């Protein structure tokens, strides 16, 4: 199948490209004009540069495709970035949808996030029907991704099959943008800034990639599918990361509450409070809660399975070794 893909040069995107090629699909990767494609080029896919904000460029680049996987997006959680988030996540997605309709594309698979799904703070794993409430519902990232989901699903009225995938905390190879890999590197260099008190659902990047391939043919139009994995505390994640990199780390004495408070002041009162937040204050607040997710629906419909946390952390650390992020 000829697949048109956005975000192919990103962390999750590279894992999707790898899975697409392993399944025998042909990929056209639509990337921004100035994007680095260092890790994408070795795959030998057709790389087309253009702007998601330019409908004509998107429509032209999509010609000849049979399906679309739309993974590109902005992940900022700063409210000041809402205009950019809206431009990329919402209007960019609307342009993808319009181009798909123009090109008579059969199916769109959209990479969303569990940030658009509610959680019960560790009481029981959330599923696709759990409503998003509380402070997470006010995240500009979550708000724009929800609007993007609606834009994709609206294409069904024009005869396009639409599937939404909601990955949780992705860990694995190709994490050049330092998502959870940042914590792996912090463990390796013994620079863990604090121990988050909460927990999350960690999923294998390679299996998330394969989940996208399955969604091209097995996903039911109009449905959302959570791609999650092991539900564990963040402290357990750090302990497992230490084993993966073969290093121990000193448990920092800094309290979580102080880290969050300082980051909030650095954001709200800059430049009166020196320094930059080590992580966005919103994300630090998320670290204080426990957000577990259930992948049963994806397991049944897509055949999705996530590798154990030990394996995904090894995949991440091994990729970092091979590409000299760590020695």
Host domain of residue 149: 2-171+201-230+292-306
Please report whether residue 155 resides in a domain: yes
d(CA 305, CA 299): 6
d(CA 177, CA 76): 13
Which residues face 28 on adjacent strands?
Answer: 4, 46
For each of the chain's 327 residues, which pLDDT tens digit applies? 999 999 999 999 999 999 999 999 999 999 999 899 999 999 999 999 999 999 999 999 999 999 999 999 999 998 999 999 999 999 999 999 999 999 999 999 999 999 999 997 777 899 999 999 999 999 999 999 999 999 999 999 999 999 999 999 999 999 999 999 999 999 999 999 999 999 999 999 999 999 999 999 999 999 999 999 999 999 999 999 999 999 999 989 888 888 888 888 888 877 767 777 777 889 999 999 999 999 999 999 999 999 999 999 999 999 999 999 987
Please report whether residue 281 resides in a domain: no
Please report whether residue 208 resides in a domain: yes
Q: What is the pLDDT of residue 280?
A: 85
Please report whether residue 193 resides in a domain: no
Domain total in the chain: 1
- CATH code at 22? 3.40.50.720
Q: CA distances (Å), 82 to each of 79, 86, 271, in order?
A: 5, 6, 21
Phi and psi of 78, rounded to 5°?
Answer: -80, 130
Please report whether residue 315 resides in a domain: no
Please report whether residue 279 resides in a domain: no
Q: What is the pLDDT of residue 75?
A: 94
Q: Is 203 exposed, middle or buried (0-12, 13-18, 19+ CB in 10 A)?
A: buried
Please report whether residue 109 resides in a domain: yes
Please report whether residue 120 resides in a domain: yes
Q: What is the pLDDT of residue 267?
A: 83
- Strand 161-167 relative to strand 46-49: parallel, antiparallel, unpaired? unpaired
Q: What is the pLDDT of residue 272?
A: 67
174 Rama sector, left if φ>0, alpha if ψ -120 to 50, beta otherwise: left
Q: What is the pLDDT of residue 293?
A: 97
């Amino acid at each position: 199948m000829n697949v048109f893909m956005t975000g192919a040069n990103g962390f999750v995107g590279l894992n999707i490209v790898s899975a697409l090629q392993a399944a025998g699909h042909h990929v056209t990767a639509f990337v921004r004009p100035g994007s680095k494609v260092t890790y994408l080029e070795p795959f030998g896919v057709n790389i087309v540069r253009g702007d998601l904000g330019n409908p004509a460029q998107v429509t032209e680049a999509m010609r000849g495709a049979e399906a679309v996987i739309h993974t590109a997006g902005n992940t900022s959680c700063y409210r000041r970035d809402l205009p950019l988030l809206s431009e990329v996540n919402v209007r960019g997605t609307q342009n993808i949808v319009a181009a798909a309709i123009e090109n008579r594309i059969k199916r769109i698979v959209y990479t969303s996030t569990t940030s658009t799904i509610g959680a019960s703070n560790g009481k029981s794993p959330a599923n696709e029907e759990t409503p998003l409430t509380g402070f997470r519902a006010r995240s500009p990232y979550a708000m724009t991704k929800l609007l993007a989901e609606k834009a994709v699903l609206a294409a069904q009225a024009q005869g396009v099959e639409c599937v939404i995938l909601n990955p949780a905390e992705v860990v694995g190879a190709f994490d050049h943008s330092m998502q959870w890999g940042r914590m792996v590197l912090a463990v390796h260099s013994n620079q863990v800034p604090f121990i988050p008190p909460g927990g999350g659902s960690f999923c294998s990047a390679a299996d998330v990639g394969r989940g996208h391939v399955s969604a091209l043919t097995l996903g039911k139009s109009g449905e959302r599918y959570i791609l999650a994995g092991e539900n564990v505390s963040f402290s357990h994640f750090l302990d497992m990361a230490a084993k993966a990199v073969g290093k121990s780390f000193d448990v920092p004495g800094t309290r979580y509450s102080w880290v969050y408070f300082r980051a909030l002041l650095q954001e709200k009162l800059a430049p009166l409070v020196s320094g930059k937040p080590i992580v966005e204050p919103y994300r630090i607040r998320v670290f204080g809660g426990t957000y577990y997710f259930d992948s049963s629906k994806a397991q049944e419909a897509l055949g999705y399975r996530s590798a154990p946390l030990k394996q995904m952390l090894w995949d991440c650390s091994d990729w970092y070794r091979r590409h000299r992020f760590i020695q």
